[in-house]
Structure 1
Amino acid sequence: MKADVAVLGAGIVGVAAALHLQTRGRDVVLIDRRGAGEETSFGNAGLIERASIFPYLFPRDVKKLAVYAVNGLNEARYNWRDLPAFAPFLLRYFIESAPRRALDHALSVRPLIEACLDEHEKLMAQAGASNLLRKTGWLKLFRGEQSFAQGRAAAEAIRPFGLNVAILDAPALRQVEPSLREGFGAVHYLDPASISDPQALTLAYLKLFEARGGRFLRGDAASLRPASDGYGVATVEGPLLAREMVLCLGPWSDLALAPLGYQIPFAVKRGYHRHFHAGDSSLSRPALDADRGYLLAPMAQGIRLTTGAEFARRDSAPDFTQIETSEVFARKLTPLGERIEQTPWMGCRPCLPDMLPVLGPAPRHKGLWFNFGHQHHGLTLAAVCGRLLAEMMTGETPFADPTPFAIERFG
């Protein structure tokens, strides 16, 4: 089999990239070892984070770092046995979170954040999936004046970027979400949207891709091999030769890069979720309990409880400490019903230390392209990064400067 382009990885990032390339006249094949949207794209909080100009930064407060060191905060945990594996990444993450560097990273990603929702809405309209979109923003609630003050300051910092926030005291918070029983106050981020079923969105994009003539094949990225006239990969349906290849492998990207000679400071942050029947909770938008480190989001499957970050090896055994602790906190916040599944889901977020994706051509392999490392914002950036990548690959003038996302920034 032959194709103009093969996209390895059928998460939301890969499917969106395939759609954009197909729209520009390329014969595209999408390849994954599993079904579309069954890995990282399955378990996110459903946010299209239009307000997330500033990336998630490594904390610089010494007292808070000391609490993290003993796993004293629910929002982030690490496994002692895995510390040697991810310590170099954490050091680089700390360096890249310095104020000047963080501002540079924010300015680099700003054009993508500003266009992220618009690009998704265009694809959703074409895919008949606009019913999955809720333009109700999300809440970041706080349990005391000190954290609320910090939250207000962070919200004010994004106003110069033309973003809208509402500051809610406790009574106003109850008016917006009556079933929340705790909370000193909250920031309502008004510009972001959320998805009621993230995997359903991925599948809707895939259906559109296939309806337009695209092919979805089962195959393993480990079989990727450079060929004289492109790249070959083995699939269940038979060998495929593509003139160009796009790696959208999320938390497994390093496994494909290493045999090609690319070494980058790559790591994963693991996360967990569990669904609950709504019970007496009337939650109508995602709500982050900032002081307890978890998020609740109303989904088609029920109310989804998602955890913060767990630093561990990608394939280490699950540790359900965060999700169990979060459930205790969440039941005090809102009257959740019974668990829908007993075993929590676990997934991995692909992260680079500057919290920017790798997007663009491989410097030593003509026809090989990268689109991975979207950290906490895979859903947010999928459609807009698909557009930027497709513009680069087809010779269009990119709508944003892709230089900050090049893999060469790591040497």
Structure 2
Amino acid sequence: MSKTPLARAVALATLGASLTLPGMAQADFIGDSKATLELRNFYMNRDLRHTTSAQQSKREEWAQGFIFKAESGFTEGTVGFGLDAYAALGVKLDSSDERAGTNLLPNAFGDEGPGEYSEATGAAKVKISKTVAKVGGMMPKLPSVSSNDARLLPQTFLGGHLTSNEIDGLTLHAGQLKEQNQRDSTNFEDLSVNAGGGIRGFTFNGKGNVGDDFNFAGLSYQLTKDLTASYHYGELEDLYKQHIFNLVHVLPIADKQSLKSDVRYARTTDDGHSNIDNKSFGAMFTYALGSHAFGLGYQSMSGDTGYAYINGTDPFLVNYVQIGDFANKDEKSWQVRYDYNFSAFGLPGLSFMTRYLNGDNIDRGPGISDGKEWERNMDITYVVQEGTFKNLGFKWRNATLRSDALGELDENRLIVSYTIPLM
């Protein structure tokens, strides 16, 4: 595995901190520790129906992942110290030069790549009262930046993250990310903007779509037991600044009935070396009735460009789904969704989801007609609830995309995962 100087420094700092721990009170450090090993078997097939015979027509690969995560507790005292560790190994089970490029493995069309790849990070953390600061490897899950875990191994970052819960109902976040390791890579690299297949309307100068550090801050406050409001700020230096607002309300209607409203608005502007200018509005309403859930969503893009977010991450958009994000310049899209939990039939752990999205009004450039696209998804999931194989999970994800922007794609993902608690 290749490591940048920053990655090596983080690893050495974590090792140095671990050597000092034997002299400290370690009751909470050991007693509150936890570690898991996830075994993740992943098959993916993407039929590229829009390509010509001279281009790649299919991506199909199968791989096995081993994901180790460990989190210590904190040493006793006013200031507590702790350590986190992450290591992962991906093993190729089936691939070829003609079928590479699913993002399960570090390869591309024409080169099936190595038989295995690995990655590891460590992090040191400190706690005072209800405030925790962490420096090193991390997988943030915030509206401004959310690590992607939709392939064999997760996306990771190097940086610092402070989380505070000193006031009941209020959570504060602040930090900086310096580098990222993509889900199909072993190398940490500079942060960049997702170019969206070239139809976001972005233009860059200087270093192209590569930025410097990503600075973030935000707060989430539970106004009532049913209403939560949040604001998050993200800045990829030189490229964009983003303000994200979110309201989530759950209205109890009757026994086993509720209506959830999730409303999101984001304003994104350039930071000197791009033309990024976007207003994003999205709303998702979900009516739950017993084991059923019915969802209806709407998303609108306006401004001079599409929506901007760090390459490889999950954008905070209601219409971001299995393949598409429906976040192109001027695009308007809607979604209908249905979920069912089979526990009502005596099959706990079995669930089903299907949704359909349709987008139009995509600005594809001067002299080109507006683009359209639609996507259909289906997920079937089963997780063993008890016994020797408790938490053994099976998932089938199916998607169909027809897009003037991204082409015609048919996709299947089969995932078997099993998480073993180690302590």
TM-score band w.r.t. shorter chain? under 0.3
Tell me which of the two structures has the higher relative contact order, counting C-alpha pairs closer than 8 angstroms and 6 or more residues apart.
Answer: 1
Task: Indicate the structure with greater helix content.
Answer: 1
Q: TM-score, normalised by structure 2?
A: 0.25
